[in-house]
Amino acid sequence: MELLNKNMNFRIIGTIFILSFFLLGCNIFSYHKRAEKKRVENMLEDWRRDTSGCLNIRSSEKLHYLRECLVLDNKSKSFVLKKLGEPNIIVKDGNKETYRYYYNGLCNNEGQLIESSDYCWIEISFSSNKIIYIASLCF
């Protein structure tokens, strides 16, 4: 009988340990997931605030990171507009539409890009309302 009680106590303690580990582990994972989501939200807010690229917040590296986090491939134009904000330029060519977001350019005192200077842009092209490619170009 005593052996049965020890065995039962061992099982109860083991079960409590496993459940505690599982619940604690899930909470830690959930915390990291929430922290990452908040980081992406802050990055998107900063991106939208840098409307002309003059604040030097936008970059191809940030877009690459956001592309991975948001899984941008095959997303719609409305999704991109919601997340990245209005593009600096929209180029239409037949059934293809391209959004351009400026960065790394020279800006005047009013915070506007000097288009005659060298600058870069991120290009997101759509066909049938879905992203078909994303590129970063400089000239």
* pLDDT tens figures, 66-76: 888 888 888 99
CA within 13 Å, CB half, 67: 16
State the Cα–Cα distance between residues 67 and 81, nearest whole angstrom: 14
- Top mean pLDDT of 5-14, 29-38, 103-112 is at 103-112
pTM score, two decimals?
0.74
H/E stretch holding 121 reads strand 120-127
**Residue extents of the structural domains in the chain:** 2-138
State the Cα–Cα distance between residues 60 and 68, nearest whole angstrom: 12
pLDDT of 30 above 70: no
Asked whether the CA dihedral 62, 110, 118, 123 is positive or negative, the reply is positive
Identify which of 62, 67, 58, 133 has the alpha carbon closest to the alpha carbon of residue 88: 58
